[in-house]
Structure 1
Amino acid sequence: MGHGHGHGHSAEGDRKRLGVALAVTLLTAVLGAVGAALSGSLALLADLGHLLTDAGALAAALVASLLAARPSSLRRTYGLGRVEVLVAGLNAIALMIVVVWVAVEGVQRLFTPADVPGLPLLVIGVLGLAGNVVSLLVLAGGDRRDMNMRGAMLHVLGDALGSVGVLVAAAVLLTTGWPYADTVASLFIVALVVPRAVGLLREVGHVLLEGAPRGIDVAEVQDALRGVPGVADVHDLHVWAINDRKPSVSAHVVLDGVDGHGGCGDGSVLDRAARTLRERFGLAHSTLQVEHHAHAGHEESCEEPPAPRRGTGAG
C-alpha cells in the first residue's frame, strides 16, 4: 500500500481563531438582545437569532476541531475527522431553521407592521456589524479548505449581512418613518442567507455519501493511472474524502507483465502510480493493490493456469 500525507494551515491556529470569534460573537449577541428587547425590532430579532446560532456554530466547530485532532484507534481507524463534516451540516440546518422562522414572522408583519424606533436599530446595527467584521477578519486567516471553518464563516457572514440590513432599516426609519423597513430588511437577510446554507448542506451530503472531492475528475485519475508505465488496467477505483482536507484514493492496478520485476508486490509500478496521484491530483493518501491479469478477475486469490493434459495413446 502507498501512503502519504500533506499539511496545510495550522489546526491549532484555526482553533484559536474559532475561540476569538466565539468570544466576539457572544459579546455582540448580548448587545443585540438588549437592543431587541428595547425596540421590538424583527430585524434585530433576526440578527440575534443569527448571533445565537453563530455562537453555537462556532462552539461546535471548536469542539469538532479538537475531536478531529485526536489520533485514530483500533475502533475508529479513520479517527474523528468526519465530526467536522457532521457539525458543518448541523450548523447549516440550524441556520435554515432560524431563517425560516424569520421569514414566517416577516410575512406576518407585512400585514400588521410594528412600530419600531430607528435609533436603537442604528446603534445596535453599528455595534453588531463591528463585531461581525472582527470575527470575519479573524476567521479569514484560517484554512479555507476546511468545511468546518467555512461553515463557521458562513454563519458570521450571514450575521454581517443581517447587521447591514439592520443599518439600512434604521436609516429608512429615521429618514422616512416607513413602517415596513424593518420587515423588508429581515426578509432581505433571509434571501441572502438561504442559498449559502443550502449550498453547504449539499456539500456536506456529498462528502457523507463518499462523493469525489471537488476539483478531482475520477475519469482523469483513471486515465492517468492507466498511463503509468507497467500498468495494463485499473479497476475498483474509488476517490473520496474523510473531510474536505483529506482526499483519499484506492484502486486495483493490473500490471502488463512486461515492466518491473514481476510478482504482486512490484514496487516500481506502485511507486510510479502513487507519485502520479500525489503530483497530478494532490491525492497524497493512496491505497493501491497491485495485481496481474491472472488475479484481476479473482479477488480471493490468483488462479493458477490449468495443467496441460497428458495424452493417452494406444501402442
Structure 2
Amino acid sequence: MLNRLSTKHSHQFDEGNPLAQRRILIATIFTGLMMVAEIFGGILFNSMALLADGWHMSSHMVALGLAYLAYRAARHYAHDERFCFGTWKIEILAGYTSAILLMVVAAIMCYSSLERLYNPIQIHYNEAILIAILGLIVNLICAWLLHDNHHNHDSHEYHSHRNTHDLNQKAAFLHVIADATTSVLAIIALFAGKYFGWNFLDAILGIVGVILVSKWAWGLIQQTSKTLLDAEMKEPVVEEIRDVINNLNPAIQITDLHVWKVGKSKFSSILALDTTDHTLTPKIVKQALSIHEEIVHASVEINFR
C-alpha cells in the first residue's frame, strides 16, 4: 500500500523571501558605490588594506547580486512543474556559490597582503582613513538590512531547535560582515601606521582578515553543501519519524527511510514499513506524522508479512 502525506504543488513548499530580495538589492547598490570609492582610494593613497577591502567589496557586490538573482529566479519558476519540490534550492545554490567566491577573495587578499608585506610603500593616511570609515558605515547599514530576524517570526511555527535560516540571505549577510571586518582592520592598520609608524600592520591585518573570511566561508560551504547533497539523515526530524512509528506499534519495522530538505525547516520523506498488523493503513501513518509540521510531503508504503 502506497500513499502520500500531502498533494501540495511544488511552489507551496517555500513561498520565497520577497523582503530579503528587496533588501539585498538595496545593499548591492550601496556596496557597488562604496567598492568604486575604496578601490580608487586604495590606488591613489597607496593603502593595501584599503585596496584589499575595495576588491573584497567587489566580490561582495557580485555575491549580493547573485543572491538577488537567486530570489528572482526562485520566484519566477515557483509554478514551473519541472521543479517537483519547489525552487528553494536555487537560493541554496547561490549561497554555496557565494561561499566559494569568498574563498577565492580570501586567496587574492592573502597574496596581495604578503606582497605588500615584503614590498611596503608610502601610504596617504588621512585620505585612506576617511574612505575606510565611510566603507565601514556602508557595511554596517547593509548588515542591518540583511540581518536575519528569523527567530522573531518563525518560533511560533516550528520547534525551537529547527534551523530556519535563509541560507541565501545568510550568505549575503556573511559577505557584508566579512567586508565590515576588513574595513575595521583597515582602519586599525591605517591609524597605527599614521601615529606609530607601524606600516607593516597594514599587510598583517590583511592576513588576519583572510583567516576570518576563510573560516566564515568554510562554515557556509558546509551548511549549503549538506542541503544540496541531501545529507539530512542526521536531522532531528529523522528520529521523530522513527518515534512516531514506534509509538504506533513497536512491532512495525521500518525497512526504508529517506528524508531530505525541500525548504527552510521543511522536509520530504519516503517511508517503507513492514508489519503483521493488517489494520495499519497509510492514512493512520499520515495522521501520526502530521503532528510534525515540518514534514510537508511523504510517501508511505506498507508491506504485510
Same-fold status (TM-score > 0.5): yes
Cross-structure match for 1:310: none
TM-score computed with the length of structure 2 as normaliser = 0.84
Tell me the distance in 2 between the aligned counterparts of 1:141 and 1:208.
21
Q: Deviations over 1:23-55 (max 9, x none)?
A: 221121122123112112111121112211111
Runs of 4+ in 1 over 3 A off after TM superposition: 4-10, 141-144, 242-246, 253-256
Q: Select which of 241, 245, 250 maps to 2:261.
A: 241
1:140 aligned partner: 147
Offset of residue 172 of structure 1: 0.3
Classify 1:182/1:213 alpha carbon distance in 2 versus 1 (closer, same or farther; 3 Å): farther
Q: Distance in 2 between matches of 1:149 and 1:58?
A: 9
Q: Post-superposition shift, 1:92?
A: 1.1
Overall identity of the aligned pairs, in %: 25
Q: 1:12 to 1:291 in 2, by over 3 A?
A: same
Q: Counterpart of 1:269?
A: 285
- Letter of the 1:93 partner, please give it: I
Matched residue, 1:58: 64
Aligned residue number for residue 42 of structure 2: 36
Secondary structure of the residue aligned to 1:210 is coil
Are 1:168 and 2:188 counterparts? yes
Structure-2 separation of matches of 1:73 and 1:231: 42
Matched, 1:13 2:19: yes
Say if 2:39 is the partner of 1:22. no
- Matched-pair contact (CA < 8 Å) for 2:245–2:285: no
Equivalences, count: 285
The 5 Å alignment of 1:282-293 reads 282-293=293-304
1:121 aligns with 2:128: yes
Shift in Å at residue 74 of structure 1? Answer: 3.6
1:111 aligns with 2:118: yes
Deviation string for 1:139-177 (max 9, x for gaps)?
114556111011101100000001100110111012112
Quote the residue 1:152 is aligned against: 172
**Deviates most, 251-260 or 66-75:** 251-260
Name the stretch that deviates more: 127-136 or 25-34: 25-34
Partner Cα distance (2:217, 2:44) in 1: 30
Deviations, residues 231-288 of structure 1 (Å, cap 9, x unaligned): 712222111113544332221234541645xxxx54233211x224x1xxx5331313
Alignment partners' CA distance in 2, 1:223 and 1:84 = 32
Question: Which runs of 5 or more structure 2 residues have no equivalent in the other structure?
Answer: 151-163
Question: What code does the residue aligned with 1:97 have?
Answer: V
Instruction: Flag structure 1 segments of 5+ consecutive residues without an equivalent.
Output: 295-315
Partner of 2:52, secondary structure, is helix
Question: Using the alignment, how far apart are the partners of 1:9 and 1:188 within structure 2?
Answer: 39
Q: What residue is the counterpart of 2:160 in the other structure?
A: none
Is the Cα contact below 8 Å between 2:47 and 2:128 reproduced in 1?
A: yes
Match of 2:6 in 1: 3
Tell me which of the two structures has the higher relative contact order, counting C-alpha pairs closer than 8 angstroms and 6 or more residues apart.
2
- Per the alignment, residue 228 of structure 1 pairs with 248
CA-atom RMSD in angstroms: 2.5
Please tell me whether residue 87 in structure 1 is matched to residue 98 in structure 2: no
Corresponding letter in the other structure for 2:284: S
8 Å CA contact retained: 2:251, 2:275:
yes
Rounded Cα–Cα distance in structure 2 between residues aligned with 1:104 and 1:56: 21
The answer (yes or no) to whether the contact 1:229–1:259 under 8 Å persists in 2 is: no
Work out the CA distance in 2 between the residues paired with 1:4 and 1:130.
48
